[in-house]
Structure 1
Amino acid sequence: MDKFEELFKVYNCNLNDETVKKEVDAIISKHLDENNNKEVYKQCLSLIDLTSLNGNDTEAGIVAMTEKVNDFRKQFSTLPNVAAICVYPAMVPHVKENLTEDVRIAAVAGGFPASQTFIEVKVAEAAMTALEGADEIDAVISVGKFLEGKYDEVYEEISEIKASCRGAQLKVILETGDLKTAANIKKAALIAMAAGADFIKTSTGKTTVSATLEATYVMCQAIKEWNDKNNAKVGYKAAGGIATTDDAVKYYTLVKEILGKEWLNNSLFRFGASRLTNSLLSSIEGKEINYF
Structure 2
Amino acid sequence: MSDRNPGCELDLGWVNNTRINLPAVKRRAETLGTRRTVKKQWQAAWLLRAVTCIDLTTLSGDDTGANVQRLCHKAARPVRYDIMKGLGMEDAGLTCGAVCVYPARVVDAVRELKKLGADIPVASVATGFPSGQYHLKTRLEEIKLCVADGAKEIDIVINREMALNGNWQGLYDEIKAMREACGEAHMKTILAVGELGTLTNVYKASLVAMMAGSDFIKTSTGKEGVNAILPVGVVMCRAIREFHERTGHKIGFKPAGGIRAAKDVLVWLILIKEELGDDWLNNQMFRIGASGLLGDIERQLFHYVYGRYASGSEIPMA
Regarding TM over 0.5, the answer is: yes
Q: Distance in 2 between matches of 1:211 and 1:69?
A: 22
Specify the code of the residue in structure 1 equivalent to 2:316.
N
- Deviation at 1:27? 3.4
1:182 aligns with 2:199: yes
User: Residue 266 of structure 2 is aligned with which of 210, 224, 249?
Assistant: 249
1:167 aligns with 2:181: no
1:122 aligns with 2:148: no
Residue matched to 2:43: 37
Residue matched to 2:64: 58
Specify the code of the residue in structure 2 equivalent to 1:122.
R
SS where residue 34 of structure 2 aligns? helix
Residue matched to 2:254: 237
- Contact 1:17 1:181 (C-alpha < 8 Å) held by counterparts: no
Q: Which runs of 5+ in 2 are unaligned?
A: 1-9, 85-89, 304-308
Specify the code of the residue in structure 2 equivalent to 1:17.
L
**Number of residue pairs matched by the alignment:** 289
Deviations 1:89-134 (CA, angstroms, capped at 9, x unpaired)? 1101111111021111101001100000011111110011011100
Residue matched to 2:125: 108
- Contact 1:16 1:182 (C-alpha < 8 Å) held by counterparts: no
- Deviation at 1:290? 3.4
- Deviation at 1:25? 1.9
- Contact 2:55 2:99 (C-alpha < 8 Å) held by counterparts: yes
SS where residue 282 of structure 2 aligns? coil
SS where residue 154 of structure 2 aligns? strand
1:149 aligns with 2:162: no
Specify the code of the residue in structure 1 equivalent to 2:55.
D
- Contact 2:175 2:212 (C-alpha < 8 Å) held by counterparts: yes
Residue matched to 2:3: none
Q: Distance in 1 between matches of 2:270 and 2:65?
A: 37
Paired-residue identity, %: 35
Deviations 1:15-51 (CA, angstroms, capped at 9, x unpaired)? 1222200122233332334797111111111100000
1:264 aligns with 2:312: no
Residue matched to 1:85: 99
Dislocated runs of 4+, deviation >6 Å: none
- The correspondence of residues 133-144 of structure 1 with structure 2, limited to 5 A, is 133-144=150-161
Bigger CA drift: 251-260 or 65-74?
A: 65-74
Specify the code of the residue in structure 2 equivalent to 1:91.
R
Specify the code of the residue in structure 2 equivalent to 1:214.
P
- Contact 1:51 1:273 (C-alpha < 8 Å) held by counterparts: yes
Q: Distance in 1 between matches of 2:111 and 2:57?
A: 17
Q: Distance in 1 between matches of 2:176 and 2:108?
A: 28
Q: Distance in 2 between matches of 1:198 and 1:34?
A: 33
Deviations 1:244-288 (CA, angstroms, capped at 9, x unpaired)? 011101111111100001100000000000100111111112133
- Contact 2:160 2:195 (C-alpha < 8 Å) held by counterparts: yes
Q: Distance in 1 between matches of 2:271 and 2:198?
A: 19
SS where residue 15 of structure 1 aligns? coil
- Deviation at 1:74? 7.2
Specify the code of the residue in structure 2 equivalent to 1:27.
L
Q: Distance in 2 between matches of 1:60 and 1:34?
A: 38
Specify the code of the residue in structure 1 equivalent to 2:96.
V
Q: Which runs of 5+ in 1 are unaligned?
A: none
- Contact 2:241 2:276 (C-alpha < 8 Å) held by counterparts: yes
User: Residue 238 of structure 2 is aligned with which of 213, 221, 224?
Assistant: 221
Q: Distance in 1 between matches of 2:80 and 2:48?
A: 16
Deviations 1:44-81 (CA, angstroms, capped at 9, x unpaired)? 11100000000110112112221333454773435621
Bigger CA drift: 76-85 or 95-104?
A: 76-85
- Contact 1:66 1:98 (C-alpha < 8 Å) held by counterparts: yes
Specify the code of the residue in structure 1 equivalent to 2:32.
I
Bigger CA drift: 73-82 or 224-233?
A: 73-82
Q: Distance in 2 between matches of 1:149 and 1:265?
A: 33
- Deviation at 1:153? 1.3
Q: Distance in 1 between matches of 2:225 and 2:197?
A: 12
User: Residue 132 of structure 1 is aligned with which of 149, 159, 163?
Assistant: 149
Residue matched to 1:5: 12
1:69 aligns with 2:75: yes
Q: Distance in 2 between matches of 1:154 and 1:271?
A: 25
Q: TM-score scaled by structure 1? A: 0.94
Quote the RMSD (CA, aligned, Å). Answer: 1.9
1:216–1:73 Cα change, 3 Å: closer
1:244–1:191 Cα change, 3 Å: same
